Amino acid sequence: MIIKEINLLSNEKLQKKLQIVSIPLFLILFILFWMISNIESPYKRLVVHDINEIFLSTIILVSIFLLHELIHAVLFKMFCPSSTIKFGFKKGIIYTESLDSEYSVKKFIVSCVTPFIIISLLLFCLNFVNILTDNLFILIATLHGISCIGDFYWIYILRKYDNRKYKVVPTKKGINIVY
């Protein structure tokens, strides 16, 4: 029995709300990652700004978006081995879908938050050993963080549903919460 349908892709009002929320989220993440980048490391070097850094940041950012979706796919498959995983690109967004699946609320929340945590830690490590300069770390980590707004929204919605009673069913446009 469907308790709630959330159509993120077709709900323009919801999309606008998420865009508005992403502005303070950007500021919060920028400050957070700036503070993290100030952790001292013996590997730090002076900041270099050149065309190579811009090229590198673009490659890293695209790679991170792909890695983010790959992490979702691995978790979806791990939590529901019979599911069919598909990747796509719609409205400028890379996505992973698992339409023939049903997940506990807890597992779906884990699937939502894990890419943000893993990628943020990876970027921090790359910054700590000076593969990423502070500026690149802050830029890439912040952009990745605000691109997680949809995942954060799912967590916000699902936090109030009892894991033992409800399931999450992904749909073409969002999710259904079922009893």
Residue 146 has pLDDT above 90, yes or no: yes
- Domain assignment present for residue 44? The answer is no
Q: CA-to-CA distance for 122 and 177, rounded, in angstroms?
A: 32
Lateral strand order in the sheet of 2-7:
2-7, 174-178, 167-170, 103-104
Residue 42 has pLDDT above 70, yes or no: no
- Domain assignment present for residue 95? The answer is yes
User: Which domain does 71 fall in, by range?
Assistant: 2-37+50-178
- Domain assignment present for residue 67? The answer is yes
- Domain assignment present for residue 43? The answer is no
pLDDT in tens, 25-34: 999 999 999 8
- Decide: 119 and 66 in contact? Cβ < 8 Å: no
Mean pLDDT is highest, among 9-18, 43-52, 62-71, for 62-71
Q: CA-to-CA distance for 165 and 54, rounded, in angstroms?
A: 48
- Domain assignment present for residue 24? The answer is yes
- Domain assignment present for residue 45? The answer is no
Q: What total number of domains does the chain contain?
A: 1
